[in-house]
């Protein structure tokens, strides 16, 4: 994959929406290309010291909790964003496993923080997407909170307000790539 192709994947990613070409090129300079074979583990649940955000360039990955597949991600989508926002001693919450040969950009927390320090507008652009993703997850959790007594108890513990809505069957959480301006 050439740099122009990588820039196209970055442009298509909601995480880098609104970035100009100079900002996108700066992002590619702090990222490191990593290739994985099917069934490798990119991220292991329970690993401590989470320090990287991953953007999929090619291929497809599955996010798993135990043996349950909860999310499938492809080119332009990302995972590991909590590593940017939390302390580095935090444990990873899920396994991430390629479903086919997969290439990702790995962005180590320290490298992205350096980039953000030198170009603060990059942080503002990325935080908007991270906030949108958090809202999506919070809404799903709010809807799930009424599905069983155990979920309702967990929601109370997390401080999520219960609703009258039911969510009968959730197999995955989808974080769609939104069109520009969306």
- Domain positions in the chain are 3-118, 121-164
More confident of the two residues 66 and 139? 66
pLDDT 10s digits, 128-165: 888 887 787 777 666 666 676 776 666 666 555 444 33
What is the per-residue pLDDT for 84? Answer: 72
Using CA atoms in the order 111, 123, 118, 16, what is the torsion angle rounded to 10 degrees? 70
What number does CATH give the domain 3-118?
A: 2.60.120.10
Whether residue 55 contacts residue 105, with contact meaning beta carbons closer than 8 Å, is answered with yes
Q: Determine the Cα–Cα distance for residues 57 and 32; give it in Å rounded to an integer.
A: 11
């Amino acid at each position: 994959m050439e740099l122009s192709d990588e820039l196209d994947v970055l442009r298509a990613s909601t995480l880098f929406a609104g970035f100009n070409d100079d900002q996108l090129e700066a992002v590619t300079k702090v990222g490191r290309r990593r290739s994985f074979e099917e069934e490798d583990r990119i991220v292991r649940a329970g690993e401590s010291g989470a320090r990287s955000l991953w953007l999929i360039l090619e291929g497809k990955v599955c996010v798993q909790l135990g043996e349950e597949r909860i999310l499938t991600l492809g080119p332009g989508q990302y995972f590991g964003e909590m590593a940017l926002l939390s302390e580095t001693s935090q444990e990873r919450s899920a396994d991430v496993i390629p479903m086919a040969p997969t290439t990702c950009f790995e962005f180590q927390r320290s490298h992205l923080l350096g980039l953000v320090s030198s170009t603060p507008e990059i942080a503002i652009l990325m935080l908007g997407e991270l906030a949108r993703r958090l809202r999506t997850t919070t809404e799903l959790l709010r809807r799930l909170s009424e599905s069983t007594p155990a979920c309702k108890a967990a929601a109370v513990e997390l401080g999520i307000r219960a609703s009258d809505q039911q969510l009968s069957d959730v197999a995955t959480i989808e974080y769609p790539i939104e069109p520009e301006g969306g």
